[in-house]
Amino acid sequence: MKRIITVMLMTLLFSFNAKATPMGAAVAANPNDYALVFFFRSDCPFCHKFAPKLKQLAAQTGTYTYAFSLDNQGIAGFEVPIPSTPDIAATFFENPRSVTVPATFLINVNTRKFVRLTVGDVTPSQLQQSYLQSLNDPQVIASMR
């Protein structure tokens, strides 16, 4: 009986020490190894609507965002974007001539391997869920190593 109680206490102790995001969900991968990648166009109303949601997620998680503009123009919250070259677009999209925005990706900053998180204007909870699922999925993390 004493051994069972000891095991239970150790389990509780280690569960409290698990790394967690500011949102309170445990994360299997080290969030410092990852960044968000955001593709948008300045004339895209969905991009303007989505941008504050992404800024909020980045602020909550402390995740850096690389913002790429397909038309080299900024939007609110991302006033000085990185211009998206054809090579950059081809890296992230199967058909770089037909890109749906807004689009977000999670990238391993050490290996430059990435997974798509969202396409289109999603809700804050959908964005957060996609982010957390990616960081907690061992197969996804392995694919980015």
> Average pLDDT for residues 128-140, to the nearest whole number?
95
Identify the pLDDT of residue 29. Answer: 67
* Domain coordinates in residue numbering, the chain: 22-143
80 φ/ψ angles, rounded to the nearest 5 degrees? -125, 80
In the predicted model, is pLDDT for residue 1 greater than 70? Answer: no
pLDDT in tens, 22-61: 444 445 567 789 999 999 999 999 999 999 999 999 999 9
The string over 11-44, giving b where at least 16 C-beta atoms fall within 10 Å of a residue's C-beta and e elsewhere, is eeeeeeeeeebeeebebebebeebbbbbbbbeeb
What distance separates the 2 farthest-apart alpha carbons in the chain?
67
Q: What is the mean pLDDT of the chain?
A: 85
What pLDDT does 28 receive? 56
* CATH architecture of the domain formed by 22-143: 3-Layer(aba) Sandwich (3.40)
Tell me what pLDDT residue 96 has.
86
| pTM metric for this prediction | 0.80
pLDDT score, position 89: 96
Give residue 76's pLDDT: 97
Give the residues across from 20 on adjacent strands. 26
pLDDT at 21: 44
